[in-house]
Amino acid sequence: MLMTSLQKLKDQDIEIMICTKGLVGTCRKILQDCGLLVFFSHVFGNLGDCYGCFLDYDVQSSQGQWTPPPEAAALLGTADCSFTASKGALISDIMQRKGLSMVEVIFVDDDPRELQSATQVCSTYQVKETTGLSQPDFDRIFQLLEELPHTMRKES
């Protein structure tokens, strides 16, 4: 269901990004292992030692004394993946850089506080279940996309 829905979005030239409070590298690794990373143009989140340095390799890594293996390094975030403000502020910044209007972006999240940070920025959709996106969620997202002005939708 998830892969099919993401493929449908990709087929419609809809750009999908992830904005997480977790670590970029961890998120990318999970998506890659599930075969889903290819659907996302960018993953924003926390980097490096944002949660502190507790283990020897954490300290070594933060001091540049440890280098991850190449296959792991490709998944780790870089400065352009980091954000420190609200998700709404990040979305606003992305929209400004890409020249997008409020009706061209849908922010999907399960946290009402994060959604509140974006209500003046773009359309929002709250995932009600704590288990992630369900088919009814995707159905509603596709419905919201259909409601976009005709000029913003890719012609089939």
Q: What is the pLDDT of residue 156?
A: 39
Q: What is the pLDDT of residue 66?
A: 62
Does the reported pTM lie above 0.75?
A: yes
Superfamily of domain 85-148: HAD superfamily/HAD-like (3.40.50.1000)
CA pair distance 136, 124, nearest whole angstrom: 16
Q: What is the pLDDT of residue 95?
A: 96
Burial of 113 (0-12, 13-18, 19+ CB in 10 A): exposed
Along the 156 residues of the chain, how does pLDDT read in single tens digits?
899 999 999 999 999 999 999 889 899 999 999 999 999 999 999 887 554 444 454 445 555 666 777 888 888 888 889 888 899 999 999 999 999 999 999 999 999 999 999 999 999 999 998 788 999 999 999 999 988 775 454 443
* pLDDT tens digits, one per residue of 100-137: 999 999 999 999 999 999 999 999 999 998 788 999 99
Q: What is the pLDDT of residue 61?
A: 54
In the chain, where the domains are located: 16-84, 85-148
Q: What is the pLDDT of residue 49?
A: 56
Plot region of 23 (φ>0 → left; ψ -120 to 50 → alpha; else → beta)? beta
Q: What is the pLDDT of residue 153?
A: 47
